[in-house]
Chains A and B, each alone.
Chain A
Amino acid sequence: MTTAATVRKTVLNETMSKAGGKMVDFHGWELPIQFEGILKEHAAVRNSAGIFDVSHMGQVFVTGPDSFKLLQKTNANDLRKATVGKGVYSHLLNENGGLVDDIIAFCLALNRYLVIVNATTSTKDFNWLSAKAAKMNVTVENKSDAYSMVAVQGPNVPKMMEIFAPEAVKLPRFGIVEKKLFGADCFISRTGYTGEDGFEITAPHAVIINIWNKMMELGKPYNIVPCGLGARDTLRLESGYLLYGQDVDDDHTTYESNYGWVVAMDKGDFTAKDILLKQKAEGLRRKLTGLTLTAGGVPRPGCKVFKGGKELGQLASATYSPTLKKGIGVGYMSDPNLKPGEPLEVEIHGKRVPATAAKVPFHKGTAFTFKL
């Protein structure tokens, strides 16, 4: 249990509370679980526009002549994809092929990278990268305490940003641009955790309230609503995005998490490459697999999953899907060859509820169909 004294507040804390945010302790951060309601917030992001305070996320800067070398060595994905002004989603691997974290590494300029990391892992990531950088000509800085961050998400978000930040609207998916907002140096990237088009704005604390208010004003014609962690979770799970600490951790590999596309085997050497190669050759013993309920009920993390009476594993993440209007979940199953449509059962409140294995993502929003 985190005691009240150690709960951290984002700069937007008071803004959230005043907007009706129902504040909860989320891994040591006080953040809103919801405002008016999860379903309303979820629908706003899927259909128009929503805004999230994601200031708990971390920022690690990697600079210097060996910055590419350090990131290429420690990541599963190929950092060559992160050309100047672009980012790449990747897994930071430990020596066993498990995940130190899942991150986005943006190349801001030659030899200058911004790595967006998870809140709970920012210190761990910084220590990990620093240790790996020991014999390299590179500087690793954890600036997580200096930045706030908002995510503005939804199909109408580019329209509302057209005049305020035209250069952002021209960005490709995973593109990033540095821009002065309210006099401060900020970063706008075309990224998010909802499956919809939109932007994440990383900014020094001093201007984040101004940015939030500006987004609310620009989004007014599109009925933008503030959104909480509840909607963030239903949106990301429908989109098949991993939640570090729940779906992946130090003990699960990229292949096991069914994110094999992240592993760039052809890029040269990187941490745990041999282990991942071996795992690929030998086959998996468990794999993160999606399922949807075919009867009523709401699956939750920890629910056991069965196939023909045999227990296959339990759900890591699960919820009611507001878009599909049924229960969805992902969990590590001991049968890695389950095909979408195969009948399963989920134990909910002691009863077996019918389900079928399902394709992930469960729903593809505008981030998946993105075209400039």
Chain B
Amino acid sequence: MPKQEEVKYTKTHEWILAQGQEATVGLSDHAQHEMGDIVFVELPKSAQKVEKEKPCAVVESVKSAFDIYAPVSGQISALNEEVTKDPALINQSPMDKAWLFKIQLSDTDQIKDLMDWTAYQEFIKQAAH
């Protein structure tokens, strides 16, 4: 399980952890908390090509729908079917059991542009005002 401090964040509240050419993507703890009870997840298609900052999945809570944007460009290399079966996993374990998908990176440098934990905390604080 990655620690919140070890991963990078987007302004659209995804977290991403790169390990070599592959990165794991999930929804931040802050975002799941804001959304409330999550009841439906639609993941990208297997082997789908995704583009940085373009929507590629949908997460729905009782009250609202939330687009998931690809934090980086690449190709989907794995999908977590467990969250499709049990969307509440995202509320229970957003950083671990409820990772959403993995991307085979087309450009590992794209990760560097994203926020670290401190910057993301600051971003959330700013957005609240």
Residues of chain A whose beta carbon lies under 8 Å from any beta carbon of chain B = 33-34, 37-40, 230, 234, 296-298, 300, 319-320, 322, 349
Tally the A-B contacts, defined by beta carbons under 8 Å.
39
Give chain B interface residues in 39-63, CB to chain A under 8 Å.
Answer: 39-40, 42, 58, 60-63
Do A298 and B40 have beta carbons less than 8 Å apart?
yes
Do A230 and B63 have beta carbons less than 8 Å apart?
yes
Within 8 Å CB of A297, what residues of B? 40, 42, 60
Main secondary structure of the interface of B (DSSP, over half): strand
Question: Interface centre among A39, A234, A300, A322, by most B CB within 10 Å?
Answer: A39
**Size band of the interface chain B makes with A:** 10 to 19
Do B65 and A38 have beta carbons less than 8 Å apart?
no
Do B39 and A320 have beta carbons less than 8 Å apart?
yes
Do A298 and B37 have beta carbons less than 8 Å apart?
no
Task: Identify the closest chain B residue to A327 (Cβ).
Answer: B40
In whole angstroms, what is the CA distance A320 to B64 when docked?
Answer: 10
Do B37 and A39 have beta carbons less than 8 Å apart?
yes
Given contacts A296-B42, A298-B65, A349-B65, contact A37 B60 (CB under 8 A): no
Do B65 and A300 have beta carbons less than 8 Å apart?
yes
Within 8 Å CB of B40, what residues of A? 296-298, 320
Instruction: Name the distance in Å between A298's Cβ and chain B's nearest Cβ.
Output: 4
Sample of 16 A–B contacts (CB below 8 Å): A33-B63, A34-B36, A34-B63, A37-B37, A38-B37, A38-B63, A39-B37, A39-B39, A296-B84, A297-B40, A297-B60, A298-B65, A320-B39, A320-B40, A322-B39, A349-B58
In whole angstroms, what is the CA distance A319 to B62 when docked?
Answer: 7
Task: Identify the closest chain A residue to B63 (Cβ).
Answer: A230
Instruction: Name the distance in Å between B64's Cβ and chain A's nearest Cβ.
Output: 9
Within 8 Å CB of B39, what residues of A? 39, 298, 320, 322
In whole angstroms, what is the CA distance A322 to B84 when docked?
Answer: 17
Instruction: Name the distance in Å between B43's Cβ and chain A's nearest Cβ.
Output: 11
Question: Interface centre among A37, A234, A319, by most B CB within 10 Å?
Answer: A37
